[in-house]
Amino acid sequence: MRLSETIKNPEKIARRDILRSYPNSLKECVGIWSRVPRSMYFLFLAQVVWMSSLAMIRPYISVYAKYVLGLNEVQWAIVLTVLFVVLIVLALPIGKMVDKYGRKVPLLLSNVMLVLSMVLLVYGDYARLFLVMIFEGVGMLLMMTGYGSLRADLVPQELRGKIIGFCNFVSYVFMAIAAGAVSLSLTPHIQDFIFCEV
């Protein structure tokens, strides 16, 4: 209620027209890509790949930690706590870094950090998992801050809603497909682990 509108003469929302305008909205979102810089197209592809990859990897991490690395529930909870501490403590410094050194370097660095976290996970143990969460947290912050800042820089104000809506729509579709595929493949593996333990 306390926010100031940034769009001049915004139209009123007609609730009954929301569903009816869906096909037209999708068509408009596809059409506006010719009005944004080419870099935004590559940024969009990077978002789809990144978010789909996270949707595929995330379910496996807990299973891997429990059944391969042998962590119990308390240890896993402590490890996850480290991730959120990193996200909270480093959010402001990384935001400042993105403003000071640009958007491209943090985005590239985020991929390095996320790859390092996965390598440490594969060859990990309880102690190394703390490093995994530190690298993952830093990588996620660099990615999210750099991505959001660069997108705001590249997209004109009047197109941001459509671009963000389209990027989220496509990303969530691919995330749903990726997560569904992983869930279908994950269930037999969990059963195999449990069977082997028994």
Distance CA 37, CA 178 (A): 28
Contact predicate 116/62, CB 8 Å = no
SS3 21: coil
Query: Longest Cα pair distance anywhere in the chain, in angstroms?
Result: 67
What is d(CA 55, CA 175) in angstroms, rounded to the nearest whole number? 6
Task: Please state, in angstroms and as integers, the Cα–Cα distance from residue 128 to each residue in 67, 68, 88, 131, 142, following that order.
Answer: 16, 14, 21, 5, 21
Among left, alpha and beta (phi > 0; psi -120 to 50; other), residue 60 is alpha
First to last CA, the chain: 57
Which domains are assigned to the chain?
40-197 (1.20.1250.20)
How high is the pLDDT of residue 50? Answer: 85
Helices and strands (H, E) in the chain, number of each type: 6, 0
From CA 155, how far away is CA 124, in angstroms rounded?
Answer: 41
CB-based contact 145:94 (threshold 8 Å): yes
pTM strictly above 0.95: no
Task: Write out the two tokens for 133.
Answer: 């969460």
Closest CA to 150 of 189, 111, 185, 99: 99
Residue 58 has what pLDDT?
79
Residue 86 gets the label, from left (phi > 0), alpha (psi -120 to 50) or beta, of: alpha
Is there a contact between 25 and 151 (Cβ–Cβ < 8 Å)?
no
pLDDT tens, N- to C-terminus, the chain (198 residues): 887 887 777 777 666 666 666 777 777 777 788 888 988 999 999 889 988 888 888 777 888 888 888 888 899 999 999 999 999 999 999 999 999 999 999 999 999 999 999 999 988 888 889 999 999 999 999 999 999 999 999 998 888 888 888 888 899 999 999 888 877 776 665 555 444 443
Residue 187: how many CB atoms within 10 A of its CB?
A: 10
pLDDT of residue 187: 62
- CA-nearest of 101, 93, 102, 107 to 142 is 107
